[in-house]
Structure 1
Amino acid sequence: MRAHRLSGLYLITMPVADLFERVELALQLGVRTLQYRGKDEAPARQLQVAGELRQLCRQYGALFMVNDSIQLARECAADGVHLGQGDGNVAVARKVLGADALVGMSTHCLAEAVAAEEQGADYIGFGCLFPTGTKTDTTAASLHELPRVRRAVRLPIVGIGGIDADNAGRVLQAGADAVAVISAVMQADHPADAIRRILQSCQTA
């Protein structure tokens, strides 16, 4: 298990024209966990993109995760999979991907966080902590509940939802080990500046 490596900026992709350039830039600047999220892309395209992203992560020594799809994670030899509440269970993912695979689970409240730990997840994502336009069907979670989750579970916690350089420090101070970021990097006009600012916020939290 490599959950102990989860810290700082956990970058999640979205379809953008310069995806690979942005990802490589992030890896060069120090991001060490990347999750590929391409739900609306065709299966063949998903496998192609995932394979190229996995190679970049190998090159820079970063963890490479796949969102939702256990099958895609297996096909592209990802380091693990991140599951939503309706995307399968930890035991199945572990059986398909092997004992060394990293399995994360999205949670939105204390009860879900505790249940994820009981199921054997390696880490949890907790959110949505701030308003976000990336996912319109997400469930809100309170930043004030994060310290309670931190006390209740031993797993690494990745805060998610509307996180940027201005609030990343608050999320870490509330008990998260890492912050998941999507649009603040993937849609930034100046991604290098955005990445540096978020990393700085993580280091000084």
Structure 2
Amino acid sequence: MKIQKRPLYLVTDRTNLTDNQFLTTIEQACKSGVDLVQLREKQLSGREYYELAQAVKQITDRYQLPLIIDDRLDIAQAINAAGVHLGQSDLPVKAARQILGADKIIGATTKTLPQALEAEKEGADYLGVGAIFPTQTHVKTVHTSVATLSQIRQNVSIPVYAIGGLKAHNVAAVKPAHVAGVAVVSAIMQAADPIKATQELRQAVLAAL
């Protein structure tokens, strides 16, 4: 399974949400226009992450959407997720590919052209590039310009996703880069109306692409 024509990528964040609110928000997003879901958890134990991943996968399976697990290759394998997303401090893409084989999706966070070229060489299926704008998440981010985003997009043959503070009102900023898609976190996860937010985001993203 590889990434194809999946322009709106949801990365989860449980900040200020109960477990029920969290799962409900994901389901609302899945039925309203997201194409791909990444479960990102930095604080949970292995068992907690596994149990949450199982619950999320029940939702994504229902809507026939790929579920990507952030960081944790073992969790991705344990629940038979579509793949894994790796940051610069995580397991190298090459090692993950050796473990997962050719059929699983591997995404990589990159912020510079050398990082992007290395990730592609090692077997990444797509790149997440950013942060384009300041973010509200607790994940440490580094600003990435649209110029760098464009440079990466022009020099790799795998899909590139812009991420970082992107919302319906500012996503047009990435239009010059001609990326494959946009990844969002708080724009959906912290929205008062996740269904409306997802629908508006999808329209804005398709217009920007």
TM-score tier by shorter-chain length is over 0.9
1:128 to 104, 113, 131: 131
2:97, 2:123 within 8 Å by CA — same for their partners in 1?
no
Name the residue aligned to 1:3. 3
> Does the aligned pair in 1 maintain the 2:163–2:184 contact within 8 Å?
yes
Aligned to 1:23: 26
Pick from 156, 161, 173 the counterpart of residue 158 of structure 1: 161
Q: Tell me if the contact between 1:20 and 1:53 (Cα under 8 Å) persists in the aligned partners.
A: yes
User: Residues 4-58 of structure 1: CA distance to partner in whole angstroms, max 9, x if unpaired?
Assistant: 24x3210011112211111111111121200001111222111111011112111
1:177 aligns with 2:180: yes
SS at match of 2:107: strand
Instruction: Name the structure 2 match of 1:46.
Output: 49
CA distance in 2, matches of 1:24, 1:190: 12
Identity score, percent:
36
Instruction: Measure how far apart 1:173 and its partner are.
Output: 4.0
Name stretches of at least 5 consecutive residues in structure 1 with no aligned partner: none
Letter aligned with residue 170 of structure 1: A
Alpha-carbon distance between aligned partners in 2 of 1:135 and 1:173, rounded to the nearest angstrom: 28
Q: Which moved more, 1:90-99 or 1:115-124?
A: 90-99
Letter paired with 1:34: V
1:57 aligns with 2:48: no
Distance in 1, matches of 2:149 and 2:31, equals: 30
Cα contact 1:32–1:61 (8 A) shared by 2: no
> Shift of the alpha carbon at 1:65?
0.1
Task: Report the residue type matching 1:62 in the other structure.
Answer: L
TM-score by length of structure 2 reads 0.92
RMSD over aligned Cα atoms: 1.4
TM-score, normalisation: structure 1:
0.94
Partner of residue 90, structure 2? 87
Q: CA deviation at 1:76?
A: 1.3
Count how many residue pairs are aligned between Structure 1 and Structure 2: 204
> Distance in 2 between the 1:174 and 1:159 partners?
9
Q: Secondary structure at the match of 1:3?
A: coil
Consecutive unaligned residues of structure 2, counting only runs of 5 or more, are none
Mean Cα deviation higher: 46-55 or 172-181? 172-181
1:108 matched to 2:111? The reply is: yes
Q: Supply the distance in 2 between the matched residues of 1:133 and 1:200 (Cα, whole angstroms).
A: 22
